Amino acid sequence: MQKSSKSPVQIITVDADFAEQRIDNFLICRLKNVPKTHIYRILRKGEVRVNKKRVQPSYRLQSGDLVRLPPLELDVPAPLPTPHQRIVNLLKERILHEDKNLLIINKPSGLAVHGGSGVKLGVVEILRTMYPKLPHLELAHRLDSDTSGCLIFAKKRSILKELHELFRVGGNIRKIYWALTKGRWKSSELRVNEPLRKNIMQGGERIVRVHDEGKESLTVFKPLETFVDAMLVEATLYTGRTHQIRVHAQYRGHPIAGDEKYGDREFNKKMREKELKRLFLHAYSVEFTLASIDQHVRVEAPLDDDLMKCLALLRE
């Protein structure tokens, strides 16, 4: 049986980071163990007060507002498992950039970005245990579990909002990936401007396909190194769709090595002979400007040793 406890009346002073956020979204984020239906009920009944007044769920908070929360029955969540020290040390070693606003790491392949769906601890949960004074450390974007490379976290909500806006408007964040692909690309194939649509297959597996009714998607590929039956390419994302690079590469007939979902079985088998045991997709660099603090950031994540070893064997 899940335990619960009753909280006392709380008075919360809204700081500048949460200015302009709707009161309902503010409470949903803050009261993670309270059902949304109950949050809207206490708003509707006027049990939540802002500056001693009733407010609608659509009210946008201002810096300095005093939010009164009534006593609440809170489910006490089961404590998260403690991450293994080996994983903590690994993430410490893979920090690429850190300041008071940002944290950028070189995410290892095989590690999910967040918990859920059978994953108890993702990168964000592990980092929160490493930064106990930053409980609201948040992902600015996502990478597939099997993809390694640059992963951005925001330490402040204002920075998170700014990053989300940069990601929303294509081209404001320059993301470059490196991928090992099947065959040799022709110059006419390098620009892939094909809409992508997400489908849910039987068993709940998520799959993405090029589809006329999908969302606009643009990837530009650039050859970096040519091998006998493979090519190392640079992929620049101009939109951020799920599995975009993997599906666009497959659509052109050049699936990514080690891709179990969209890849080529025989090509994957050949690459396993070159000791490739994972998806060869790596978020190599990220570049953006935070106008609010006049900060330009450019970070590169070196290829992991296993990917470097595969390339060395291909060169032989």
Higher-confidence residue of 116 and 27: namely 27
Same domain as 176, residue 303: yes
Instruction: Give residue for tokens 């004074």.
Output: 133
Q: How confident is the model at residue 200 (pLDDT cuts 50, 70, 90)?
A: low
As beta bridge partners, residue 289 has 296
Higher-confidence residue of 7 and 216: namely 216
- 3-state SS, residue 303: coil
What range defines the domain where residue 142 resides? 85-160
Total domain count, the chain: 3
Q: In whole angstroms, give the CA distance from residue 55 to residue 6.
A: 24
| 126 domain-assigned | yes
Q: Which one of the listed residues 65, 144, 146, 259 is annotated catalytic?
A: 144
Q: 134-193: per-residue pLDDT in tens?
A: 877 899 998 999 999 999 999 998 899 899 989 887 668 999 999 999 999 999 999 999
Q: What is the pLDDT of residue 121?
A: 81
Same domain as 120, residue 14: no
| 166 domain-assigned | no
Contact between 106 and 149 (Cβ < 8 Å): yes
Same domain as 233, residue 127: no
Domain boundary among 160, 181, 213: 160
Same domain as 301, residue 180: yes
Same domain as 153, residue 32: no
Domain boundary among 35, 51, 75: 75
Same domain as 244, residue 215: yes
Contact between 22 and 57 (Cβ < 8 Å): yes
Same domain as 303, residue 215: yes
Q: How confident is the model at residue 1 (pLDDT cuts 50, 70, 90)?
A: very low
| 165 domain-assigned | no
| 309 domain-assigned | yes
| 80 domain-assigned | no
> DSSP class of residue 196?
E
Q: Tell me the two tokens of residue 235.
A: 């992929």
| 20 domain-assigned | yes
| 285 domain-assigned | yes
Same domain as 222, residue 256: yes
What CATH number is given to the structural domain containing 89?
A: 3.30.2350.10
Q: For all residues of the chain together, what is the average pLDDT?
A: 90
Q: In whole angstroms, give the CA distance from residue 45 to residue 116.
A: 33
Same domain as 240, residue 136: no
Same domain as 178, residue 311: yes
75 has catalytic annotation: no
Q: For residues 233, 238, 240 and 244, what is the CA-based torsion angle, rounded to 10 degrees?
A: -40
Q: In whole angstroms, give the CA distance from residue 122 to residue 81.
A: 11
Same domain as 288, residue 211: yes
What CATH number is given to the structural domain containing 9?
A: 3.10.290.10
- How far is the first Cα of the chain from the last one, in angstroms, to the nearest whole number? 60
Q: Rounded to two decimals, what is the model's pTM? A: 0.80
Domain boundary among 26, 45, 75: 75
Q: In whole angstroms, give the CA distance from residue 150 to residue 286.
A: 7
Q: In whole angstroms, give the CA distance from residue 302 to residue 176.
A: 12
| 115 domain-assigned | yes
Higher-confidence residue of 62 and 78: namely 62
Same domain as 305, residue 195: yes
